[in-house]
Amino acid sequence: MADDVSQRASRLSRLWSELAMRHVALGSSCGCGAGGVSLQLVDFELDIVEYLEDQGLRSGVVEVEKFFRARPTSEATGLPLQTLLEDLERDEFPAEASEWVLTRLERTLKSFAELHGRRQQGES
């Protein structure tokens, strides 16, 4: 189980690193700064972790609630999503909490990849 958690977290960490610097299209202009405000997905890192924490604290799953009470996002500094993924890679959390967090992060980051992320073959 530990290898599975570690491998999944490692894949997500690589995906997030790839996605984090991508620009987000805002309205009718591109987020790259041409006619609009420049935002990157990394600007939403804290929002992602805060959303996870909020859902976790209301999940009704004891291990998940304990996990987020012990690790409040409000005290996070730096890159909270990257730090969370690195801690998951080291398999530092109870299995139930790790599985809950990984499942939601996989869904979230795959959605970002579909919407903003990976270039298709043939794109420049």
Say what the pTM is.
0.75
Model pLDDT for residues 20-68, shown as the tens digit of each residue: 777 665 555 554 545 555 677 777 888 899 999 999 999 999 999 999 9
| Amino acid (one-letter) located at 99 | E
What radius of gyration do the chain's Cα atoms show? 16
Would you list the domain boundaries of the chain?
A: 2-116
Task: Give the pLDDT of residue 73.
Answer: 78
Highest mean pLDDT among 24-33, 77-86, 112-121: 77-86
pLDDT tens across 89-109, in order? 998 889 999 999 999 999 998
CB 28: neighbour CB atoms within 10 A?
Answer: 7
Residue 124 has pLDDT above 70, yes or no: no
Whether 36 and 29 have beta carbons less than 8 Å apart is answered as: yes
- Report d(CA 47, CA 9) in Å as an integer: 19
Placement of tokens 């924490």 in the chain: 53
